[in-house]
A = this chain, B = another copy of it.
Amino acid sequence: MNSPLQPLFAARLERLRTHMAATGLDAALISAPEHLRYLFNYSGEAAFGIVGARTSSLVTDYRFIEQAEEECVHHPWRQGVTTEALCRDRQRERLGQTLGRVLAELGARAVGYEAAHVSVAQWADISADLTGLALRPLADVLVQARCVKDAWEQQQIAKAAALGDAALAALRPSIRLGVTERELANRLERLLQELGSEGLSFPTILGFGPRSALPHSAPSGRTLQRGDLIVLDYGAVVNGYRSDMTRSHVAGRAQPWQQRMHDTVARAQQAALALLQPGISGRALDVASAAVLAASEFAAHAGPGLGHGVGLILHEQPFLNGDCEALLQAGEIVTIEPGLYIRGQGGVRIEDDALLLDSGHQILTQAHRDFELAL
């Protein structure tokens, strides 16, 4: 089997194997859905991956075995480095027994596992069947690897972002006085679907008026009134990769305080974007953006944090906040999303997805930023 994506998947596995060799691990048990996708191209459920020094296996059951066999096509099948999908008979074998059998075939003794992606109860069950092995939490090598997107990943996120842009343009006629948050969110989600998004990047956040001040407002029956602030935060999915964008509007003409609020957030975003390039820390970006908010009349209403990486999952490393000392790298894709939230009155947030280039960055989300909507 050959696939143009094989070299990408091979490189991902190689990076994990290099880490395993360096830390004395003979095998790694993979359970995070995003890592099953990242390493095996598997998008189903109920699976564990086992990566050994030369071979890898995906253990699932009858419900997902065909899907596993179909999706693992991007895997490197060169001689001696094979991938197999294994179907566990759940009536006959506990999961820990199956994993133990594969690990024994590998001759593995030191085994890493994803402590952040297996529950206390499930790990107690599994590890009871893995006697005689040295089980150690795997460091965050895959989380770190996923920060920098390869060219194919960049394309998928760029496509998702463009899909989100197109959906917002098509949504414009539906933004009218009297529409409910729920109706508008439904319409947007339908547009995303029609345009080809695989689903929603996350449940749409949409708030009118005072509800726009809720950072994670679920769409309600609230109708749009003239003068309302509108916050709309949503994303598309392409081949498992997500986009994440927020636009803020006012229904009709902005009152002076609303305009100043919007301008303040826009300047806070610009302050971060002006610095966004490889070598800067997430903390420095956060400081620059937060300083704009803090110097404004709205200082008491600033939301914490500036943004996050986005990829196979919505919120991933790097997290752009005061704790982020890591220096950003070319190929990372991050959101830049400062916001102001006045409880009982309304909120403004502007969020874009930016790809870090070797020098500077490129904004992937290009939907219009007009604040006032003529209604």
Contact = CB atoms under 8 A, between A and B. Distances in A.
A123 B186 CA distance: 37
Interface residues of A, number: 38
A67 B199 contact: no
A300 interface: no
B304 A62 contact: yes
A190 B62 CA distance: 30
B121 A137 contact: yes
Given A64-B216, A116-B121, A119-B120, A91 B304 contact: yes
Say how many copies of this protein the assembly contains: 2
Interface in A181-218: 186, 189-190, 193-194, 199, 203, 214-218
Interface string A27-67: 00000000000000001110000000000000000111011
Which of A137, A194, A215 has the most C-beta atoms of chain B within 10 angstroms of its own C-beta?
A: A215
A371 to B, nearest CB: 24
A124 B115 contact: yes
A322 interface: yes
A122 interface: yes
Contacts of A91: 304, 322
A118 interface: yes
Interface string A286-329: 00000000000000000110000000000000000010000000
A212 to B, nearest CB: 12
A122 B124 CA distance: 15
B215 A62 contact: yes
A207 to B, nearest CB: 10
Contacts of A116: 119-122
Contacts of A193: 186, 189-190
A94 interface: no
A117 interface: yes
A117 B119 contact: yes
A91 B290 CA distance: 14
Given A115-B120, A115-B124, 18 more contacts: A44-B216, A62-B215, A62-B303, A63-B215, A66-B214, A67-B216, A67-B217, A91-B304, A115-B119, A115-B121, A116-B119, A116-B121, A119-B120, A120-B120, A120-B123, A186-B193, A186-B194, A190-B190
17 contacts: A44-B216, A62-B215, A62-B304, A63-B215, A63-B216, A67-B217, A67-B218, A115-B119, A115-B124, A118-B119, A118-B120, A121-B137, A186-B194, A189-B193, A190-B190, A190-B193, A199-B203
Question: Top 6 closest A-B pairs, CB basis?
Answer: A115-B121, A116-B121, A115-B120, A63-B215, A66-B214, A63-B216
